[in-house]
Structure 1
Amino acid sequence: MQDKPWNKHWIKRFKKDGTNSHKRFKKLSTGYPKFDIDKEIIDTVEFDEFIRIEKQRIPLFIGSQFGIHPRFNDIPNFFNGDRAFAILSKSLLSGNVSGLSLYEYKLEKNKYYKIHHYENS
């Protein structure tokens, strides 16, 4: 896949954020559309590790005009406690990335909230 550095400005913003810059992302080996990310900030993991709640690694999803990938419904027990997760917003038609949003899920309320957004502009 051709590297598109203009789709990675959000990574610089993420790395400069004092609250989250020390964290990494984790993704499953399948279920994602193609996307560019610095290999130093992401791990490809097995299912059990992906659903495990960790403070230093954030599960990564891709959000597009066609939905969220992988789909939450395809990941049983993902919402198994209070946790953070990230959605990288990407157009699957143009390939452009608009940014990355961090969310926090609250089990008691069965609801998630956007807690931070890293623009790609």
Structure 2
Amino acid sequence: MKTIVYFTGIIGLFFLFACSDKENQTALNNEASLPDALLNKVSGLKVINSSINTKKHTTALLYGNPKAIQRIKTNGLQMQKGEKLVWITWHQKSDPNWIGAIIPGKLISVEIVEAVSGKENIN
């Protein structure tokens, strides 16, 4: 009888300690989020390439619109009107949710290249 009471008590303690009402604030990586002013410049673009620099501890992504992706697929060298490329770089940081994982941290830079009206007008 004592064994059943002890066993029930231990199981009950496990349930009490397993419950938590704290929200996991580290679930979303808000530090790596883009500012609201830049979100509309990246929306609708697709990731073309990613880069990790282990010496500088940075992570970068190259985004492009469909016109830029098509030109890159055909090995074209000249940007055409309407193409858009965005290069975003972040510092790396350790992921608090996964041991050994590295995720983007603080935003370093956002570089935007747009072909406005042909090869001589690139912004």
Bin the TM-score by the shorter chain: 0.3 to 0.5
Q: Which has the higher strand share?
A: 1
Between structure 1 and structure 2, the one with the greater Rg is 2
Larger RCO: Structure 1 or Structure 2 (Cα < 8 Å, ≥ 6 residues apart)? 1
